[in-house]
A and B are shown apart, each in its own frame.
Chain A
Amino acid sequence: MDTVTKRKLNSEEIFAALKVFITEVIGEEFVEDMDITRESSFTKDLEMDSIEIVSFSEKVKAHFGENIDFTGWLSGMDLDQLINLKLDDIIKHIETCQ
């Protein structure tokens, strides 16, 4: 997961990568029963708690590189934004930054 992706990824590719990280964080057997979409929210739909979200964000950072400043972006979010955070928000953020 240390590879820093140089080429620009399209939103499908980013979505696929994020799904891999989610699987790593919450475990394959649980993901099988879930329908992960771009509209999935981290807290309500994926039922991730704060430590899982932090661990997910570390994986995104390691994969997409420092210039995305994903943790910085996440750090700036206040409670309501974090509660409502969807996969699509992250995909858009990465698209804008790369």
Chain B
Amino acid sequence: MARFAFIVPPLTGHVNPTLSLGAELLQRGHEVGWISLDASLGNRLPQGGQLLLLQYDQNDVEKRDSEQYLDQITKKNVSGIESIKFLYEEVLIPLNRYMFEGITIILDAFKPDVIINDHQLFSGAIAAYKMQIPYATSVTAPAAVKMMEDLPGVHEWEIRQIVALQQELGIPYDRAIVCSEALTMIFTSKDFFGDMSLPPWYKFIGPVIQHRATVTSFNWEKLYHLGDVPRILVSIGTTFDHTYKKEFFQKVIDALGNEPVSVVVVSDPTLFEEWPDNFVVQERIPQLELLPHLDAVVCHGGHNTVCESLSHGLPLVVIPIAYDQSHVAGRVIQVESGVRLNYKRFKAAHLHTAVWEILRNPAYKEAAKRIQFSFEQSGGAVTAANLLEELVQQPAYNQAFYRNRFY
């Protein structure tokens, strides 16, 4: 049996697929740990999974630092292409720089056979590379890969930020090593990702959503009490702050309040004093439990929520706000499984029209079901676990593994 270590950022959409994949590895009898800054991850791990909490000696200043990195991404209102600059300069690079030393210390003690680094946790790959431990990369936001084709100039800019960090942390090359050339797992299907020729170590796994522990309760009674009307989920994910949410959900209220639909909203209920009667509002929801009971999803185009929705054959209204979401929304339109609105421009009336369009026109649901099928064909956690097991090697091979790959 082998030992695997996931290295994840404090971002829900990036962590979730690793929970399902980790559960599969645990079921096979492997030992699995998660390196994270987020202590609350412990409650969400599959049974037997170990939280390897990254914390520096607990003098107060360091502790405050660590908390600051947890929700750095929610601290600023950003949108459009500019948000990519913010994401790298103010979130990812400082987060990776902060985590690097702690990752090294934990890896030294845990001694994994294989590391799985999130594609935005560059310092995980850097540590693996320096310590000569085989690593695979988990790509939970595949637009970063597609960026090479869509906007190559932006992709090169991203690579420059990553390479500068690599050099700072002791890898002298001028090419990025953060996506493993042994195995880079993309958690979607080729059909949803779109055409692009990629090196053979990029594997399309599909979304992995099984074996996820449920830790959030839900007001099922209220949802059923609302009757046999179409049910819609509205979520803009976990990375946007209140200013965004208030403006956004006011439009949702105007568009869907007292319509013949029931609406599940992911938001702090205190955002408004009163919500329409046909709304169920919760700060957190058991999204995977809820999706089978729904008819459509309105979201910000986060890759995780979009893929979980399409895994259930649900049509979407996507309203991308920042980061890779514009790209994900573009894919939803390309595969014809939904309607896209511009976050800055849309008004309640547009949302109203868009929601009824995806509910009434069966073409959207049919297209979503085609993507659902492509996901099911992608192999999922079983295929991913097989590929990861192939990376487990006898120590003697490790040196050869690295010699062959990088020279």
Q: Which positions in A face B, CB cutoff 8 Å?
A: 26-27, 30, 43, 47-54, 74-83
Q: Is there contact, CB below 8 Å, between B82 and A43?
A: yes
Q: Is there contact, CB below 8 Å, between B81 and A53?
A: yes
Q: When each residue 68-94 of chain B gets 1 if its CB lies under 8 Å from chain A and 0 otherwise, what string results?
A: 000000000001111011000000000
Closest 8 CB pairs of A and B: A49-B326, A51-B330, A47-B344, A79-B157, A77-B153, A78-B157, A75-B152, A51-B326
Residue of A with least CB distance to B331: A51
Q: Counting CB contacts under 8 A, is B241 at the interface?
A: no
A94 to B224, CA, bound (A): 59
Q: When each residue 85-117 of chain B gets 1 if its CB lies under 8 Å from chain A and 0 otherwise, what string results?
A: 100000000000000000000000000000000
Q: Report chain B residues within 8 Å CB of A52.
A: 326, 342
Residue of B with least CB distance to A73: B153
Determine how close the nearest CB of chain B comes to the CB of A58; give it in whole angstroms: 11
Residue of B with least CB distance to A76: B153
A30 to B344, CA, bound (A): 11
Q: Which positions in B face A, CB cutoff 8 Å?
A: 79-82, 84-85, 150-154, 156-157, 320, 326-327, 329-330, 342-345
Determine how close the nearest CB of chain A comes to the CB of B291; give it in whole angstroms: 25
Q: Using A43-B81, A47-B342 as known contacts, say yes or no to A82 and B151 having CB atoms under 8 A apart.
A: yes
Determine how close the nearest CB of chain B comes to the CB of A86; give it in whole angstroms: 14
Q: Report chain A residues within 8 Å CB of B150.
A: 50, 54
A48-B80, A51-B327 given; name 18 further pairs at CB < 8 Å.
A27-B345, A30-B345, A43-B80, A47-B344, A49-B79, A49-B80, A49-B320, A49-B326, A50-B80, A50-B326, A51-B330, A52-B342, A53-B81, A74-B151, A75-B153, A79-B85, A80-B85, A81-B153
Residue of B with least CB distance to A53: B81
Q: Report chain B residues within 8 Å CB of A53.
A: 81
From B152, B154, B156, B345, give the contact of A47 (CB < 8 A): B345
Q: Is there contact, CB below 8 Å, between B81 and A78?
A: no
Determine how close the nearest CB of chain B comes to the CB of A30; give it in whole angstroms: 5
A80 to B160, CA, bound (A): 13
Q: Using A26-B345, A51-B326 as known contacts, say yes or no to A83 and B81 having CB atoms under 8 A apart.
A: yes
Q: Is there contact, CB below 8 Å, between B81 and A49?
A: yes
Q: Is there contact, CB below 8 Å, between B80 and A79?
A: no
Q: Is there contact, CB below 8 Å, between B80 and A75?
A: no
Q: Is there contact, CB below 8 Å, between A83 and B82?
A: yes
From B154, B342, B345, give the contact of A79 (CB < 8 A): B154
Residue of B with least CB distance to A55: B330
Q: Is there contact, CB below 8 Å, between A78 and B85?
A: no
Most buried by A among B157, B320, B342: B342
Q: Report chain A residues within 8 Å CB of B156.
A: 78
Q: Using A26-B342, A47-B345, A74-B153 as known contacts, say yes or no to A79 and B81 having CB atoms under 8 A apart.
A: yes
A38 to B157, CA, bound (A): 27
- Can you give 11 contacting A-B residue pairs, CB < 8 Å? A30-B345, A47-B345, A49-B326, A49-B343, A50-B326, A52-B342, A54-B150, A54-B330, A75-B151, A78-B154, A79-B154
Residue of A with least CB distance to B334: A51
Q: Is there contact, CB below 8 Å, between A54 and B151?
A: yes
